[in-house]
Amino acid sequence: MRMLPMVKRWVTSVLSYQQAERLRSLVHAGLYYSGLAWLVASRGRRSATIFVYHSVGATGVFADNVVSAEIFEKQMRLLARRRKPVALQQIIAELKAGRDPPADWVAVTFDDGYRDFLTTALPILARYAIPVSIFVPTSVLGGSALFFDQVERVVIESAVDEIRLQTSKGKVEIKLGQRSSRSDAALRVALVLRELGPQERARAFLDLQAQCRVQEHGIPAGTYLSAADLPALPAWVEVGSHSINHYSLAALDDATLRSELVDSRAEIRVSRGQDAAVLAYPFGKPWSFDGRVKTAAANAGYVACLTTLTGVIRSTTDPMAIPRAAATASMVRMRLNLLGTYL
């Protein structure tokens, strides 16, 4: 079950991000406690589920993407007790063999390469013997910050209260308000900038910096994994690619697209001694990967690709566009996802 995209767009246009999240939580609670979700599950919508996490701790512009260590532990305990945690490769192998992966299988994945994966999530995963796959944009391994984190810092530290950006994907005119409530504004800026190609995104970011009068993005060292961290990861951690620079791949020309796919894979092979078999599309939404991107990924040697679209995983699922359920701090939402109700 998915909220109609138009309703979603309307909700996000009239409500702030936090208000929309509260509304969403109410809908989730209604579905869960009314028993409606079980009704949906009994209609055969339950399937293997792949969860996507980002940060366990306090990193990230999307509040949705951050789960505390306590909640993460609770969620892993739930998966270990109620489902069968498997390596992502097992689910992919079932798809490649043309079989439905068993409905009680779950796989855990992490995108974006935040270092709290290593310091906070990994010990918890080890405690519950849950295999994991991480998808790293390789630019962070050399010390670059992700652009949406940079946008967040610049907006939060802005010396002005109002910004105007004109891009080919739309206009952003936004009042930033109090420093304490600027995450919502940062998210709105990031949502427009994320669809742009490299040159335009860089130009828009420079414009944003100039308007906000912020020179440094101020992202602390150690926010992301480094190249030195990868060889030390245990064998039960699969390292996959999340491209190099976290661009919307569909916005790239052929040569840049190929480099983002091939060079990130090569860098992971150098640090990890093993090719990345799987790619998680940056952003993972339909506007960020199309047929051309899927073909380029196959040509670059990836055997499967992950999206952030929700949906059941069946033998008929396209291995180059596998759905994943967003892992949030909400236990109710996690239970709904496990029942096949994605909202």
The encoded tokens of residue 27 equal: 């809908």
> Which residues of this chain interact with Zn ion, rule CB under 5 A?
111-112
β-strand pairing of 162-167 with 132-136: unpaired
CB of 147 to Zn ion, least distance (A): 11
Identify which of residues 32 and 281 has a Cβ nearer to Zn ion in the complex.
281
Separate counts of helices (H) and strands (E) for the chain: 13, 12
Under DSSP, the state recorded for 182 is -
Q: Please tell me the distance from the alpha carbon of residue 188 to that of residue 177, in angstroms, as a whole number.
A: 13
Q: Are 87 and 105 spatial neighbours (Cβ–Cβ below 8 Å)?
A: no
Other Cβ atoms less than 10 A from the Cβ of 236: the count is: 14
Identify which of residues 111 and 152 has a Cβ nearer to Zn ion in the complex.
111
CB of 25 to Zn ion, least distance (A): 23
CB of 264 to Zn ion, least distance (A): 12
Q: Are 174 and 188 spatial neighbours (Cβ–Cβ below 8 Å)?
A: yes
CB of 117 to Zn ion, least distance (A): 13
Helix or strand (DSSP H, E) at 56: strand 55-56
Identify which of residues 101 and 282 has a Cβ nearer to Zn ion in the complex.
282
CB of 26 to Zn ion, least distance (A): 28
Identify which of residues 37 and 108 has a Cβ nearer to Zn ion in the complex.
108
Identify which of residues 111 and 267 has a Cβ nearer to Zn ion in the complex.
111
Q: Computed from CA positions of residues 45, 50, 55, 60, in that sequence, does the dihedral angle turn out positive or negative?
A: negative
